[in-house]
Amino acid sequence: MIERRDILTSRERFGLLVIDERPDRCNIMPLVTSHASTVANMSVKDYYTSGMSMARAQLAALEAYRHDAISLFSEVGIIAEAMGSVFEYPDNDLPVLKIPALTKDSLSEIPIPDPCTAKRLPVYLEAIDFIYTAVGDRVPILAYVPAPFTTGMMLSDPNEFLIQTIKAPQSIHDIMEISLQAAITFCYHIINAGGLPVIVDPLASSSVVSPQCYKQFALPYERRLIDYLHRYDLDIILHICGETAPILDLLPATNADLISVDKVDLGLVVNKVSDRIRVVGNYNTSKIAFSSPQVINDDIRAMVAEGMRSPKGYIVATGCEVPIMTPMENIKAFITAAKETAWYWV
């Protein structure tokens, strides 16, 4: 095989994609989030509680893997925690919801948090600031922000929240409104720091709620958040983990510019929505953690061939976060196979 070298920087490549110009090759963006702590040989707790640690880990992962984006994320409760929910911090795992805010306080007592001071929101901002100085001219800095539906569930007892979508829908809309304002405020500060907000709504997937519930309670607030971000002339990724096949036809209505999918057949996504929205995804995260490099190599070549049929553009990615303890050689196999395969320019 003739070796082909990158012509563009990662930032230039992403910039061409979002103006509907073909880059030299597909962007390669495995969701290397908390796994970066493994690369940097630090505890997961250090990673998600310190902006400097998060930045150092992400830059170490970028140096090791040479992928096309920084992906800043800890877990989906980060905004809810800043609004009053209580989380436990394991040393070698991600935070776990302990006491939802709405079991302690009424909705009227829940604040819109200041991202510069509230709990772990400043961790993102400090990390973005440091990374932007280091590589911001070359690499997109993606900051994953929980969508209102996911934050709303993390403010509540999750089971009670789902019951209230049926018994007291207005109460859910009230929670969505305050969660939307918190997300907008956080996104504003992320943009000012040099990051690109990515909206993530895993608790709105069809693995958790019905398509009807998604359409009534999640989609309108995803769309309002994305429309707000479009005021900054940004192209926005919406990431929904879990099953999305039942809601595929609804996703273009979010007004997202790119849809990042997980547990759904990539060919189905390409066939149904790729003429209206750019596609991101979606290698199985269990396979990247537990398969051999050769299996990953073969799988990625097949996945890239399928994804590159997308007329509006395609990003090679995992379906969800790379598991924390994934062997580094497996991620390198993912990236090597994609870099050998995902070329538009001969």
For the stretch 95-142, pLDDT in tens is: 999 999 999 889 999 999 999 999 999 999 999 999 999 999 999 999
pLDDT tens profile 198-241: 999 999 999 999 999 999 999 999 999 999 999 999 999 999 99
pLDDT tens profile 33-75: 999 999 999 999 999 999 999 999 999 999 999 999 999 999 9
Give yes or no for a contact between 120 and 87, defined as CB atoms under 8 angstroms apart. no
pLDDT tens profile 129-185: 999 999 999 999 999 999 999 999 999 999 999 999 999 999 999 999 999 999 999
Task: Read off the pLDDT band of 1 (50, 70, 90).
Answer: very low
pLDDT of residue 6: 85
pLDDT tens profile 229-286: 999 999 999 999 999 999 999 999 999 999 999 999 999 999 999 999 999 999 999 9
Residue 312, CA atoms < 13 Å, CB-side half-sphere: 19
pLDDT of residue 5: 78
Residue type, 260: S
Query: Cis omega before residue 282 (within 30°)?
Result: yes
pLDDT of residue 345: 83
Q: Give me the domains of the chain, ranges plus CATH numbers.
A: 10-340 (3.20.20.210)
Task: Calculate the average pLDDT of the chain.
Answer: 96
Residue type, 268: L
pLDDT reading at 330 higher than 80: yes
pLDDT of residue 346: 65
Structure tokens at 28: 């390669």
CA angle, 244 then 162 then 323, to 5°: 50
Please state the pTM of the whole predicted model. 0.96
